[in-house]
A and B are shown apart, each in its own frame.
Chain A
Amino acid sequence: MKSVAVAASAAIALLLPVTSAAHAEEPIKIGFAIAESGWLSNYDSAPFKAAVMKIEEINKAGGLLGRQIEYSVMDTKTEQARAATVGAQLVDSGVDMLVVSCDYDFGAPSALAAKQAGKIAFSLCAADPKMGVQGVGPLAFTANSAAQSEGIAIAEYGNKKMNLKSVYVLEDLTIEYNKSACAGFRAAWTASAGAETILGNDTFKNDDPSIASQITRLKGLATQPDAVFVCSFTPGGASAVRQLRAAGIDLPILANTAMVDNYWLNAVPGLKDFYLPAFMSLYGDDPRPEMNKFLESHKARYGEPPVSSYSVLGYSLIEQWAYAVEQAKTTESEAVVGVMNTFKDQPFTAGPTSFTDQLHIQVDRPWLIMKVENDSFRAVEVYRNSFKPDMKLLFRVGQ
């Protein structure tokens, strides 16, 4: 009995100073409703690790508004229903901001839970503007650019900088992301070079075992185009590029951001003349010093470079929110969103960032154009698109 009393008083003695200190400086809480298992986990984990890195950096530098940041993670298991539950649980636990999955379909259920509680939801890398005012609501943001912007950037770069005069579009219909990238590409190419210089369009599915008939159609064109734009993602995109090259089509290939990073290049040994807009280079040749600093910090923290260049978006997400909290001097959602909506080319690690009360996604953040050479992606130059997608193009209404 005595020992119990001693233990209890010892516990109280231990707890007391902790609770009183916590009252004075209660930590800021960030929740992560992300996939730690299932197929999406591979896309969530890289930006998540970078986000954690940024949180640690802030804490080390004295915290945010003088308070430390705590974070908790719950696994959505790549299930939409679970994403909703997990989002609600994190919101109930009192988080100040909720980070959600790198995809609109899987991030939106969690983001809606945050919306119900009046909390900000920030997607790691959804490329759909519906992760914003018009879709989830005015408290939802994404750290990525709109998929249309990828297509726009590479269309303009191809026409204006690479002097490509005509193009052929090969569109993967499997997910909406590709269709958006292709829509952006067509709009910008038409604005830049005229609709008649798109010599043809064809479609395929990511899991098609063969694109032989698409290749036959391309080869059968009366005039061969100067380049082929492939809007797809791996593995189907890699398979399409392999089959194009194997069929002797040596035209420059333009692609969208999902095809970035070296991991798939084994599928097409000796690939060259392949160009895409990227967030950053993981291979040490990024012209922007802040990206190389990010790369070095990641290596120091985790002992390896990020597994994907989408990683920097997670880092920058925390950076953007923390900056807005500092300006607003509170974590209260309305005030923070008020500050974020005034961002106009605000310089962050991922690049200049703008939000308005209508748009919570980037439409003209500069891209690093990269090309494949000697079996690796190489930085070419930073390029900012001048054509800006309107709301019709962003939401693909009447397309």
Chain B
Amino acid sequence: MANIVQVLVDAIALGSLYALVALAIGLVFGVMRLVNFAQADYITIGAYALVVPTVSVTPPLLLGALPSALMIGGVLVVVMALALLTERVAFRPLRNSNPSTLLISSFAVSYFLQNLVMLIHTGRPKSVGIGQGLANAVEIGGVRVPGVQLLTMVVTAGLLVALVLFLKKTPLGIQMRAAAENFQMARLLGMPANRVIALAFAISGLLGGAVSLLLTIQTGTLDLRMGLMPVVYAFFATVIGGMGSLPGAALGGFLVGVASVLLQTYLPADLRPFRDAGVFMMVILILLVRPQGLIVTSAAKERV
């Protein structure tokens, strides 16, 4: 019994992490029809901001040396600024072009940022020892919950609630939802497009920064490609959740995370290497049954 609870805790914790990334992807897709693959590099750069940019393999801490509150604030600000900058430079001029052009632009931004990090920090993985206390596990009724897993779940729940309140209760949030429903119409009705889109990017940066910190506390390492896998999973999550639907993105994130842990846990040893294949097969199955995703927004429905 304890084992099943333990597996569920593991599953929900990983699901929460993917849900955070999926929310960021889903939010930007909602207002702009852009699948922003540079989200992976937002996460990477947020984590690298913890150390001084040098070619040294054992760099001194930069933001990581600050007291917790300042460190968290610092990383979030860096990633939000980066997200806003990429929006201004690479996406805003292309806003009226084809979604596939935007997608290509996001790949370009991603490659550029990745190579920039490689140029400054070299391609060699580095390590940071932040939040060691949080990484340690606490036992709750025979179930082991690493502090960082608990934190991931709390942060995800907190940010999810905050995001929902923001979208439902504030004028900007309502405008953002309107933009996601029908961008042209919202614009005609006076929605400030630049502000709303910039805000969506800023929030995706905030979520990216949170993921940077959670990942770094969990793994203690910095690597060029550290943001990639979570974003690939999150992309699948937004697809199965329903493109453009925020609850869908969060739900999809949970589902892929949970599926990944369950497969890792219950597959026989010989099949375990094919865990990821199993997750992606599940994605295909869901799309076969529900091509529009699990939660369909009215914007995604065909209009006659």
Contact = CB atoms under 8 A, between A and B. Distances in A.
Contacts of B264: 213-214
B273 A213 contact: no
Interface stretch (B124-132, B177-185, B295-303): B124-132
Contacts of B149: 210, 212
B265 A217 contact: yes
A217 B11 CA distance: 13
Contact of A243 (B218, B224, B228): B218
Contact of A267 (B7, B221, B261): B221
Contacts of A265: 127
A242 interface: yes
Contacts of B123: 38-42
B228 A207 contact: yes
Interface in A169-223: 173, 201-203, 205, 207-210, 212-217, 219-220
A235 B219 contact: yes
B10 interface: yes
B226 A207 contact: yes
Contact residues on B (Cβ < 8 Å of other chain), bracket:
35 or more
Given A42-B123, A219-B144, A235-B223, A208 B229 contact: yes
B228 A210 contact: no
Interface in A306-323: 307
Interface string A66-92: 000000000000000000000000000
A101 to B, nearest CB: 13
Interface string A239-263: 1001100111000000000000011
Interface residues of A, number: 41
A342 interface: no
Contact of B226 (A216, A217, A235, A242): A235
B220 A209 contact: no
A185 B106 CA distance: 43
B136 interface: yes
Nearest to B64: A266
A269 interface: yes
Nearest to B11: A213
Nearest to A41: B123
Interface of A: 38-42, 173, 201-203, 205, 207-210, 212-217, 219-220, 234-236, 238-239, 242-243, 246-248, 262-269, 307
Top 7 closest pairs, chain A to chain B, by CB: A267-B220, A39-B123, A239-B219, A235-B221, A267-B127, A235-B125, A212-B10
